[in-house]
Amino acid sequence: MATALLYDCFSGISGDMHIGAMAALGVPEDYLQGELAKLRLASEFELVLAPERKMGITGVQATVHLAEDAPRPHRRLAHIVEIIQDAGYPQAVEKRATAIFRALAEAEAGIHGIGVDEVHFHEVGATDAIVDIVAAALGLDWLGIERAWSRTVEVGGGMVRCAHGLMPVPAPATAALLEGAPCSYGRVEAETTTPTGAAILRGSVDVFGEPERFTSARIGYGIGQKDFSIPNVLRVLLGTAETGEEAGASYETETNVEIDCNVDDMSPEAFQPLIEGLFEAGARDVMVTPGLMKKSRPAHRVSVLAHPDDLPAVVDRLVRDSTTIGVRFRDVRKWMLPRESVTVPTSIGDVRVKVATLPDGRRRWKAEHDDVLRLARERGEDYLAARDAAEREIAAWMKD
């Protein structure tokens, strides 16, 4: 079991909300204050942590106050890395904080079409962003986080003014940092996920999605500064998770797409060519299930399992060879017993055998039906008798 975090960014995430959530999960304030004081720019800011509430939800609100005479430089990545390294943090903290800033630099470089080392940070190079990111690395290290997941990230809606001008939400850097992450839009007409918040996710989250097994031990709420029509809070769950390596160590894993549709106006004879055509298009499995639809009309549900790359071809064949006018599809993950195919010599001929290994080491096998049927026909023997004879010999062969 791994010490794990589950980010629930239903109202987005920002750097200060993340600090608040870490404090709410138990990271001591004196630890954060003491470690942040090691930064050479410690005289430029004050971190204030206070209990706060949004729409009935209680948590911790973090605010970074900048000194009136604090500089507002446009720092390069190398300068920021130097500031972090000079603080003398543990290697894990330094590595994570640096990785988060590097992710920001790569996002900005991609937007401007320049090299990472050429990026002049604007908002994200300011003192408060450095505090947010270093505090994130410190908090995650103090909690001993080994794995982190994140649910769908709400980015907000409307327009936001940034160094690039007035831009639609999400800001360019936020959009780049959240590539590949599940996002929701427009729950709030404001920016709910900032570039710093997105960078913290990118540098901290191992998997964007739901953990298969997660046991929550503590929940922390980081309270945002603004008031929205929904609670402006970041919820983070601390607990333990059974990683895929632990839970599925004895299994092979695979991600497929499950496609299905309901058909209530097609001749039963048409299902055979439909099934054959779906396999030709790349389907890994096809199942037809009878049922009843509205007004008690008899119908069939056609379910197809396919590799994501074969989705367009399978859907085209399903629409073309059936009377459906639409399909549903979803990603599905499979755990499978390790399998192999062996050829076993028997008295009726060579028979291919599928062998699966159970988690406890025992083996389960099944003779290939097509081989037994073909050999029985070639010999002019009854199929059932040929199958029984072959299976007895295969069972003896498997024991040896």
Instruction: Give 82-106 pLDDT, tens digit per residue.
Output: 999 999 999 999 999 999 999 998 9
pLDDT of residue 3: 94
The string of pLDDT tens digits covering residues 236-279 is 999 998 765 555 556 777 888 999 999 999 999 999 999 999 99
The average confidence (pLDDT) of the chain is 91
Higher pLDDT, 177 or 333: 177
Query: Which range has the worst mean pLDDT, 122-131, 190-199, 216-225?
Result: 122-131
pLDDT of residue 166: 86
d(CA 303, CA 327): 10
Percent of the chain with pLDDT over 90: 73
Higher pLDDT, 227 or 122: 227
Local confidence band at 151 (pLDDT 50, 70, 90 cut-offs)? very high
pLDDT of residue 163: 67
Q: Is the pLDDT of residue 17 over 50?
A: yes
pLDDT of residue 124: 47
Listed residue (272, 262, 325) closest to 298, CA to CA:
262
* Lookup: tokens for 173: 């850097």
How many distinct helices (H) and strands (E) make up the chain? 12, 18
User: What is the rounded average pLDDT of the residues 54-59?
Assistant: 96
User: What is the rounded average pLDDT of the residues 313-321?
Assistant: 95
Residues in the chain: 400
How, if at all, do strands 153-156 and 183-185 pair? parallel
- Cβ pair 277, 327 in contact under 8 A: no
Listed residue (267, 275, 281, 343) closest to 303, CA to CA:
275
User: What domains, with CATH codes, occur in the chain?
Assistant: 2-247 (no CATH), 252-336 (3.30.70.1380), 339-399 (no CATH)
Residue 361, classified by CB atoms within 10 Å of its CB into exposed (0-12), middle (13-18) or buried (19+), is exposed
Q: Is the pLDDT of residue 202 over 80?
A: yes
User: What is the rounded average pLDDT of the residues 165-176?
Assistant: 90
User: What is the rounded average pLDDT of the residues 40-59?
Assistant: 95
- Terminal-to-terminal C-alpha distance of the chain: 38
Query: Which range has the worst mean pLDDT, 9-13, 17-21, 50-54, 75-79?
Result: 75-79
pLDDT of residue 333: 80
pLDDT of residue 246: 53
User: What is the rounded average pLDDT of the residues 127-149?
Assistant: 95
Percent of the chain with pLDDT over 70: 96
Local confidence band at 179 (pLDDT 50, 70, 90 cut-offs)? very high
Q: Compute the chain's Rg from CA coordinates.
A: 29
Q: Is the pLDDT of residue 74 over 80?
A: no
